[in-house]
Structure 1
Amino acid sequence: MKWVYRIVSVIAACVFLIPLVWMLVVSIKQEGMKVSGLFDWFTPPYSFAVYGQIISGTKLMQWVWNSFFVAGVVTVLTVLVAAMAAYALSKIPFRFKAIMFFFILAGLLVPGEATIIPLYQVAKDMHLLNSYQGLIVTALASPMAVIVLKGFFDGIPNDLIESVQMDGGGVWKIFAVIMLPLTRPALASMAILTFIGSWNNFLWPFLSLTNDKLFTLPMGIPTLMSQYSEDYVKPMVVNTLSSIPIIILFVIFERQIIKGISLSGIKG
């Protein structure tokens, strides 16, 4: 039966790769090409001239940098804040801890679209619109990361914490020396999922940005695509340049991404 699974897996992989291969091939065709049949998409002549036009004549690379910068900062700060919150809920006794945990858990039941109007009003009052700060600060709350990390922290024996306390270690030393190193796989998984979520975020940048120099890729690409409605090559070049960074990251962190999805219970 193994060879049956392998054949099915190869066929499924080929099916999913067809759009990617088509995008790459069309992106190196000459601008203004005429297509009269299926094979015209894959036949010469080829040219990389459009790549130069897109890179030098649009803000696409600026948007790539914006996406990397925002997603990177959001990932680091979100995981750090979630880890501290999970540590407090798991190992630090304080009043109303159970109520606080259920309050965070309830955050999973509220769709992001339901909070977008009050979030916009708060960002407006704090003068965070049209800024990197507005893209970053508003994305730091992650109930999922807190709950997943708390589950890992709960599994750490209290004897380890007591041994550090006997050596004179305080709350922050316990957090840095014991909690973070022992939950590194969970931290990495949450970081990857947070990065992907921030990279793909469209709604909040769409509402909070009007300066095209601050656009992220999900916001900038539709704006750019509207200019090339009658051309095939330029949209494919834009998609290719936008996809290459995230494809490279996926190839490097494939195992961690799959592990993160299994840890969080997210499907799809």
Structure 2
Amino acid sequence: MKWVYRIVALIAAIVFIAPLVWMIVVSIKEEGMKIVTLVDWFTPPYSFAVYDQILSGTKLTNWILNSFFVAFCVTILTVAFAAMAGFVMSKLPFRYKSFMFFLVLAGLLIPGEAIIIPLYQVAKDMSLLNSYQGLIIPVLASPVAVIVLKSFFDGVPNDLLESVQIDGGGTWRIFTQIMLPLNRPALASMAILTFIGSWNNFLWPFLSVTNDSLFTLPMGIPTLMSSYSEDYVKPMVVNTIASIPIILLFIIFERQIVKGVSLSGIKG
């Protein structure tokens, strides 16, 4: 029976990898290529001249750096705030604790598009538009991250925390030296998923930024694609360059992603 699963897994892998391979191969073809048969997509000549042309003749490099900076800041701040909120709701007693958790849970029921107009108005009133702050601050709230991290913090025995308190440890020590290290897989999983979500975010940057020097990749790529609509090579080069960071991120942190998601599934 194992060979059946392996064959199915192999077929699924080919189905998902084939478009990626096709994109990379087409990106190193010469411009103006003549395509008659399927084999022509994968036959020489090959050239990296278009890569140099795109990187040196457009703002794609700047957009990549913007995406990295915004995604990095959003990831660090989102996970930090979500971890602190999850810890407070899990282990610290306070009034209206259940009601506060219900409000966070209710945030999952509201689609992001429903609050995009008031969010834009608030950002405008605070003079955050057309700035890095405007790209970062309004997207930091993550009810999913709070709920997931709270579920992991709930799994830490209270007896362990009480023993730390007996030894003179305060709330901050419990949070930084006990809770965070014990829940490292969940933190890593949330960080990676948050980074990917920020990297692929299009709607909010599209609304909050009009200066092309502040564009992120999801905003910048369509402007290039519209210029190269009659050729396959340049759009594939742009998409390949944009995909490489996320592909590398997944390859490097694959175990953390799988472990974090599987553990959250078990706890749920």
Give the shorter-chain TM-score range. Answer: over 0.9
Cα shift readout 1:174-208 (whole Å, capped 9, x = no counterpart): 11111111111111111111111111111001111
Say whether the 8 Å CA contact 1:144–1:264 is kept in structure 2: no
Instruction: Please report how far the alpha carbon of residue 264 of structure 1 lies from its aligned counterpart in structure 2 after TM superposition.
Output: 5.3
Cα shift readout 1:17-65 (whole Å, capped 9, x = no counterpart): 1111111111111112122222221111111100100010011111111
Is structure 2 residue 38 aligned with structure 1 residue 38? Answer: yes
Task: Tell me, in whole angstroms, the C-alpha distance in 1 between the residues paired with 2:83 and 2:120.
Answer: 26
Instruction: Please report how far the alpha carbon of residue 221 of structure 1 lies from its aligned counterpart in structure 2 after TM superposition.
Output: 0.6
SS at match of 2:246: helix
How many residues are aligned here? Answer: 265
Say whether the 8 Å CA contact 1:23–1:236 is kept in structure 2: yes
Q: What fraction of aligned residue pairs are identical, expressed as a percent? A: 78
Alignment partner, residue 158 of structure 1: 158
TM-score for the superposition, normalised by structure 1: 0.96
Cα shift readout 1:117-163 (whole Å, capped 9, x = no counterpart): 00000000011111111111111101111111111111111122112
Alignment partner, residue 71 of structure 1: 71
Cα shift readout 1:67-104 (whole Å, capped 9, x = no counterpart): 11111111111110001111111111111111101011
TM-score for the superposition, normalised by structure 2: 0.96
Amino acid at match of 1:231: D
SS at match of 2:139: coil
Alignment partner, residue 232 of structure 1: 232
Say whether the 8 Å CA contact 1:193–1:260 is kept in structure 2: no
Q: How does 1:53-132 map to 2 (within 5 A)?
A: 53-132=53-132
Deviates more, 1:115-124 or 1:145-154: 145-154
Amino acid at match of 2:253: F
Instruction: Please report how far the alpha carbon of residue 14 of structure 1 lies from its aligned counterpart in structure 2 after TM superposition.
Output: 1.2
Task: Tell me, in whole angstroms, the C-alpha distance in 2 between the residues paired with 1:240 and 1:214.
Answer: 21
SS at match of 1:227: coil
Instruction: Please report how far the alpha carbon of residue 263 of structure 1 lies from its aligned counterpart in structure 2 after TM superposition.
Output: 4.9
Q: Please tell me the root mean square deviation across aligned C-alpha atoms, in Å.
A: 1.2
Say whether the 8 Å CA contact 1:148–1:263 is kept in structure 2: no
Task: Tell me, in whole angstroms, the C-alpha distance in 1 between the residues paired with 2:98 and 2:36.
Answer: 66
Which ranges in structure 2 are unaligned for 5 or more consecutive residues?
none
Which ranges in structure 1 are unaligned for 5 or more consecutive residues?
none
Say whether the 8 Å CA contact 1:130–1:211 is kept in structure 2: yes
